[in-house]
């Protein structure tokens, strides 16, 4: 677990103590989301009943914790292929006009058990 998880735990505990706490959290990576999820459960919150939590990266452990973590999966294989393609184009001198090309690849939302409708709301 990274050092981000304890940090996320502390921030989450602060958020849960607010007069108007959040009903959802989107963490910058799965380890932060897992820290937030632990803090929520330790604080007596129901996930996803009172709070939805989403991570980013789709680390393996996210599928096995309870509740299983909803996350955003990056297309890692496609990222690797594109990186090699760009590197080969750079080596061949085919990218001389644009030394820093940008690519946008579509991520995938992996819906698991850590998200649900906001209280009084429904999925749309």
* Cis preceding linkage at 15, omega within 30: no
Q: Is 123 among the domain residues?
A: no
How many domains does the chain contain in total? 1
Residue 27 lies in a domain: yes
Residue 52 lies in a domain: yes
Least confident of 42-46, 55-59, 65-69: 42-46
* pLDDT 10s digits, 27-42: 999 999 999 999 899 8
Domain harbouring 8, CATH code: 3.40.50.2300
Residue numbers of the domain that contains 33 = 4-74
pTM comes to: 0.81
Cα 64–107–124 angle (5° rounding)?
Answer: 80
The answer to the question of residue 121 being in a domain is: no
């Amino acid at each position: 677990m990274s050092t981000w998880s304890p940090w996320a735990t502390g921030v989450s505990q602060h958020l849960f103590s607010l007069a108007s706490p959040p009903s959802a959290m989107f963490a910058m990576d799965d380890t932060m989301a897992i820290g937030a999820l632990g803090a929520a459960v330790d604080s007596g919150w129901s996930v996803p009943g009172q709070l939805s939590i989403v991570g980013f990266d789709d680390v393996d452990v996210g599928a096995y914790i309870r509740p299983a973590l909803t996350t955003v999966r990056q297309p890692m294989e496609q990222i690797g292929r594109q990186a090699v393609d760009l590197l080969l184009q750079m080596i061949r001198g085919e990218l001389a006009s644009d030394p820093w090309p940008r690519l946008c690849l579509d991520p995938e939302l992996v819906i698991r058990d850590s998200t649900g409708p906001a209280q009084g709301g429904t999925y749309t």
